[in-house]
Structure 1
């Protein structure tokens, strides 16, 4: 079961949760589009390579990626779950309630596996 919790630093513009590993790319691409950032293949390569060395049990081993768009400036922190197929995410900088809700909805959606 997924529950997105506000981050402790500033609950007004941050949230945490997780997404399935195979959903990281679409999660970031959609979040970037809401920020007005064009997330392309080069961005994905950087994230994909960096994720290999992450560990969600140690905050100093998370990877941070900025989504500096024309509408919003977000910072996404990501880390692989040790021994799992999940990627923990922390989104900071959601400067509007609408963007915070969209980010929360994306996390909830991409933490779900649809059965075909």
Structure 2
């Protein structure tokens, strides 16, 4: 089961979190970037892919953070792999925009599902 929380960071910032399958990290970030008003290209993906290698979702100091800075919003995406698993824990923060938070939460729920072709 996926888990998502609305967590207050301050009066102006909230976050959503959960987990997604590792094969869904790139499309998740590409869609989230589009919602934030920025591009997510091959160079961005390379940085994230390399950053994820040394992560461990059981240790808060072993997470990787990647900014998505767009014309509309600025987000910080925190990612960490489940050691020995195919899941990646995700936390999206940096905005108080309720619509963007709902979209991020929906993406997390969708990308925690494996679709059968």
User: Which bracket does the TM-score occupy, shorter chain normalised?
Assistant: over 0.9
Unaligned regions of 5+ residues in structure 1, if any? none
Look up the match of 1:36: 37
Look up the match of 2:59: 58
CA RMSD of aligned residues (A): 1.4
TM-score, normalised by the number of residues in structure 1: 0.94
Look up the match of 1:85: 86
The question of whether the paired residues in 1 share the 8 Å contact of 2:22 and 2:88 is answered with yes
In terms of fraction of residues, the more strand-rich structure is 2
Q: Give the paired residue count.
A: 116
Distance in 1 between residues matched to 2:49 and 2:7, nearest whole Å: 24
Distance in 2 between residues matched to 1:95 and 1:83, nearest whole Å: 34
Write out per-residue CA displacement over residues 69-116 of structure 1, whole angstroms, 9 at most, x where no aligned residue.
000000000000111100000000133111011000000000001122
Distance in 2 between residues matched to 1:63 and 1:70, nearest whole Å: 23
Structure 1 segments of 4+ aligned residues over 6 angstroms from their partners: none
Give the stretch that moved more between structures: 92-101 or 39-48: 92-101
Look up the match of 2:69: 68
Unaligned regions of 5+ residues in structure 2, if any? none
TM-score, normalised by the number of residues in structure 2: 0.93
